[in-house]
């Protein structure tokens, strides 16, 4: 028994495959709660650094780092934006974790520099102000970073 397919059926099948591939690539992301949690944590650390004792700021920083490490193990690959689908590692790319960590480390450096400059200017609550600036960068920049990862995945699949 032979199944023959005419040209329009073949085009329709290829279009369906391409559409499904794009839907899967659209799932490459980190959950929204990850970015919002980082942003809230950054603000919280800034507040604690400005108004709390030094020992509390140190404990809060260590606790935040541990919580991030625990959450990052699960989501940092970009393969599990939601529980409905897990994207293959080859499609998401091995570079997602490195990109996110590099982004966050760079933001830590910028936050410290901003807090020092704000403090030198004489403003009250420099760590909080710098933390809010970092939170905005995380909330806006993190999803944009992942959009770039998805664009790259689309280009790689097209090749």
Does residue 81 contact residue 29 with C-beta atoms inside 8 Å? yes
With 0-12 / 13-18 / 19 or more C-beta atoms within 10 angstroms meaning exposed / middle / buried, residue 92 is buried
Two tokens at 115?
Answer: 């807090």
pLDDT in tens, 15-47: 777 777 777 777 777 888 999 999 999 999 999
Calpha distance 36→135 (Å, rounded): 8
* Distance set, CA 75 to CA 81, 82, 110, 115, 140 (Å): 7, 10, 24, 29, 18
- Write down the domain spans for the chain: 7-158
Two tokens at 42?
Answer: 């950054």
With 0-12 / 13-18 / 19 or more C-beta atoms within 10 angstroms meaning exposed / middle / buried, residue 14 is exposed
Tell me 81's DSSP state: S
φ, ψ (nearest 5 deg) of residue 39: -60, -45
Tell me 82's DSSP state: B
Q: What confidence tier does 130 reach under pLDDT thresholds 50, 70, 90?
A: very high
Calpha distance 96→30 (Å, rounded): 10
Two tokens at 90?
Answer: 């080859």
- Is the per-residue pLDDT at 152 higher than 70? yes
pLDDT in tens, 52-109: 999 999 999 999 999 998 888 778 765 555 566 566 666 666 678 888 899 999 999 9
């Amino acid at each position: 028994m032979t199944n023959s397919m005419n040209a329009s059926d073949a085009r329709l099948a290829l279009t369906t495959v391409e559409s499904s591939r794009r839907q899967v690539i659209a799932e490459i992301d980190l959950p929204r709660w990850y970015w919002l949690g980082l942003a809230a944590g950054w603000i919280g650390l800034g507040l604690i650094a400005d108004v709390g004792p030094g020992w509390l700021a140190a404990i809060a920083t260590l606790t935040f780092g541990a919580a991030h490490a625990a959450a990052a193990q699960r989501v940092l690959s970009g393969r599990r934006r939601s529980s409905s689908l897990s994207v293959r590692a080859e499609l998401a790319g091995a570079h997602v974790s490195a990109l996110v960590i590099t982004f966050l480390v760079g933001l830590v450096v910028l936050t410290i520099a901003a807090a020092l400059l704000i403090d030198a200017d004489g403003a009250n609550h420099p760590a909080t102000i710098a933390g809010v600036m970092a939170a905005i960068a995380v909330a806006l920049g993190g999803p944009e970073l992942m959009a770039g990862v998805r664009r790259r995945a689309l280009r790689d699949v097209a090749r």
